[in-house]
C-alpha cells in the first residue's frame, strides 16, 4: 500500500485549503488503495476571511494546523514531523491558503516568500525523486521547489501563469479535467477550482491527478 503525505493550508477556500479539493483528494487516495497522513504548518493564517461575506475579519486569528485538523478529523501532524522516507508520494490541494499560508504568492506574486518548513518538506520529496502532485494554486510552490523550466499548470490564467514562469517553471495551459505531467520531475499538476465551475468538475480534476501521481514509480 502506497503511503501519501498530504499538506493542508487551513480550512476554507478564501483563507485556507479548498475544502472540496482536500476532501476529494483524500477520497481519491483511499479509492486508489493508498493510505494518507495529513500535515500542516503550526502557524497563524495570513488572515481570517468571513466566507459568508468574503470580507476579512479584522482582529481575528486562526492557526493553520488547528484549522486543517477540521478536514483531517483531528488526525493531523505538524509539517515538521513529515519524514520523506516514510512516504511514497506528496500531494498538496489548493485553496488560497496554499498561496497565503504556505507562501505569499497571492499577495506578492513572483516576489513571494515561502514558509520554510513547508518548502523543506516539498524539496525533500523532489530531491528524493518521489512523485508529487499539486492542485489549483498550489503549483506556485511547485514552481519554487522544482524550477528548471519544470512543466506545470494552474489552468489558463495568463497573469498567474506569468508569475509561475517568473519563479522558474514552464506553465502549460490545461483544461479542468486534465493534468500536466513532468516525467523528469515526477510532478503532476491540475487546475481544479482554478477552472472548475462545479464540484463534479473539481472531482474529475482531482481524481485524475491522484490516479496519475499514484501510478508513477
Distance CA(97)–CA(47), nearest Å, equals 10
Helix (H) or strand (E) holding 163: helix 158-166
- Which residues, in sequence order, are bridge partners of residue 105? none
136 noted as active-site residue: yes
Residue 180 CB burial class (10 angstroms; 0-12, 13-18, ≥19): buried
Distance CA(144)–CA(163), nearest Å, equals 11
Phi-psi region of 56 (alpha: psi -120 to 50; beta: other; left: phi over 0): beta
Per annotation, catalytic residue among 38, 103, 136, 174: 136
Query: What is the 8-class DSSP label of residue 197?
Result: S
Phi-psi region of 186 (alpha: psi -120 to 50; beta: other; left: phi over 0): left
Residues forming the active site = 136
Amino acid at each position: 500500500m502506497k503511503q501519501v503525505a498530504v499538506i493542508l493550508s487551513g480550512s476554507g477556500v478564501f483563507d485556507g485549503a479548498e475544502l472540496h479539493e482536500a476532501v476529494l483528494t483524500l477520497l481519491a487516495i483511499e479509492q486508489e488503495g493508498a493510505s494518507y497522513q495529513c500535515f500542516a504548518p503550526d502557524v497563524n493564517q495570513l488572515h481570517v476571511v468571513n466566507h459568508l461575506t468574503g470580507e476579512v475579519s479584522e482582529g481575528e486569528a486562526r492557526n493553520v494546523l488547528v484549522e486543517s485538523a477540521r478536514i483531517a478529523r483531528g488526525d493531523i501532524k505538524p509539517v515538521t514531523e513529515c519524514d520523506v522516507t516514510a512516504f511514497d508520494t506528496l500531494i498538496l490541494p489548493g485553496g488560497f491558503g496554499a498561496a497565503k499560508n504556505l507562501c505569499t504568492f497571492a499577495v506578492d506574486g513572483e516576489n513571494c516568500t515561502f514558509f520554510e518548513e513547508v518548502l523543506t518538506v516539498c524539496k525533500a520529496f523532489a530531491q528524493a525523486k518521489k512523485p508529487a502532485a499539486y492542485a489549483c494554486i498550489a503549483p506556485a510552490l511547485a514552481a519554487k521547489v522544482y524550477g528548471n523550466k519544470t512543466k506545470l499548470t494552474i489552468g489558463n490564467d495568463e497573469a498567474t501563469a506569468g508569475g509561475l514562469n517568473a519563479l522558474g517553471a514552464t506553465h502549460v495551459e490545461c483544461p479542468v479535467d486534465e493534468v500536466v505531467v513532468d516525467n523528469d520531475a515526477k510532478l503532476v499538476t491540475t487546475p481544479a477550482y482554478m477552472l472548475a465551475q462545479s464540484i463534479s468538475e473539481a472531482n474529475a480534476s482531482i481524481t485524475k491527478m491522484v490516479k496519475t501521481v499514484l501510478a508513477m514509480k
